[in-house]
Amino acid sequence: MDIERIAQRAADAAAPYAATAPRERAAALVAVADALDEHAEELIGLAIDETGLTRPRLVGEVRRTSNQLRLFAEVIVDGAYLDARIDEADPDYIIGPRPDLRRALEPLGPVLNFAASNFPFAFSVAGGDTAAALAAGCPVVVKANPGHLRLSRRTAELVAGALAGAGMPDGVFQLVEGRQQGVDLLKDPRVRAGAFTGSTRVGRLLADIAAARPVPIPFYGELGSVNPVYVTAAAARAEPELLSGFLASVAGSAGQLCTKPGFLFVPADAELGPLPAEAVEHRLLNPGIGRAFEERRATVLGASGVTVLAEGAVRADADEERFATPTIVELPLADLLAQRETLLDECFGPLAIVVRYDRFEDLPAVHRELFPGNLTATLHATDADLPGLAELVTALADTSGRVLFGGWPTGASVTAAMQHGGPFPATTAEGTSVGTAAIVRFLRGVAYQSAPQALLPPPLRDDNPWNVPQRRGHAGLSHQWGALTGRH
Q: Is 222 a catalytic residue?
A: yes
Rule CB under 8 A: say whether 10 interacts with a second copy.
no
Q: Does 462 bind a second copy (CB under 8 A)?
A: no
Min CB(263)–a second copy separation in Å: 18
Under the criterion CB under 8 A, does residue 91 sit at the interface with a second copy? Answer: no
Pair 59, 36: CB distance under 8 Å: no
Q: Which is nearer to a second copy, 172 or 429 (CB)?
A: 429
Q: b or e along 205-223 (b: 16 or more beta carbons within 10 Å of the residue's beta carbon)?
A: ebbebbeeeeeebbbbbbb
Q: Does 237 bind a second copy (CB under 8 A)?
A: no
Residue 78 binding a second copy, by CB under 8 A: yes
Quick check: 403 binds a second copy (CB under 8 A)?
A: yes
36 forms part of the interface with a second copy (CB under 8 A): no
Could you say which of 1, 211, 298, 334 contacts a second copy (CB under 8 A)? 211
Contacts of 283 (CB under 8 A, 6+ apart): 52, 254, 321, 322, 323
Residue number, 128 or 218, with CB nearest to a second copy: 218
If one asks whether residue 34 binds a second copy (CB under 8 A), the answer comes out as yes
Give me the sheet containing 173-176, strands edge to edge: 173-176, 140-143, 111-114, 193-197, 219-222
If binding is defined by CB under 8 A, does position 332 make contact with a second copy?
Answer: no
Q: Quick check: 437 binds a second copy (CB under 8 A)?
A: yes
| Ranges assigned E (strand) in 215-310 | 219-222, 229-231, 263-267, 282-283, 307-310
Task: Please provide the distance, in angstroms rounded to a whole number, between the alpha carbons at the two ends of the chain.
Answer: 67
Q: Does 73 bind a second copy (CB under 8 A)?
A: yes
Comparison of 215 and 277: residue with beta carbon closer to a second copy: 215
- Where helices occur in 261-415 by DSSP H, the ranges are 287-301, 333-338, 340-343, 363-370, 390-399
Supply angle C-alpha 223, 434, 324, rounded to 5. Answer: 55
Separation of alpha carbons 166 and 95, rounded Å: 50
User: Which of positions 215-234 make contact with a second copy (CB under 8 A)?
Assistant: 215-216, 218
- d(CA 165, CA 77) in angstroms, rounded, equals 20
Q: Which of 258, 330, 346, 347 is catalytic?
A: 258
Active-site residue, from 61, 222, 239, 346: 222
Q: Output the smallest distance, CB 195 to a second copy, in A.
A: 14
User: According to the binding rule CB under 8 A, does residue 459 interact with a second copy?
Assistant: no
Which 340-379 residues touch a second copy, going by CB under 8 A?
A: 372-373
Considering CB under 8 A, how many residues would be counted as binding a second copy?
106
Query: Of 1, 21, 80, 313, which lies in the binding site for a second copy, with binding defined by CB under 8 A?
Result: 80
Q: Which is nearer to a second copy, 332 or 373 (CB)?
A: 373
Q: How distant, in Å, are the alpha carbons of 367, 371, 375, 402 from that of 380?
A: 15, 17, 17, 14
Q: With respect to a second copy, which residue has the nearer C-beta, 214 or 302? A: 214
Task: Give the dihedral sign, CA 424/428/429/434.
Answer: negative
Residues noted as catalytic: 222, 258
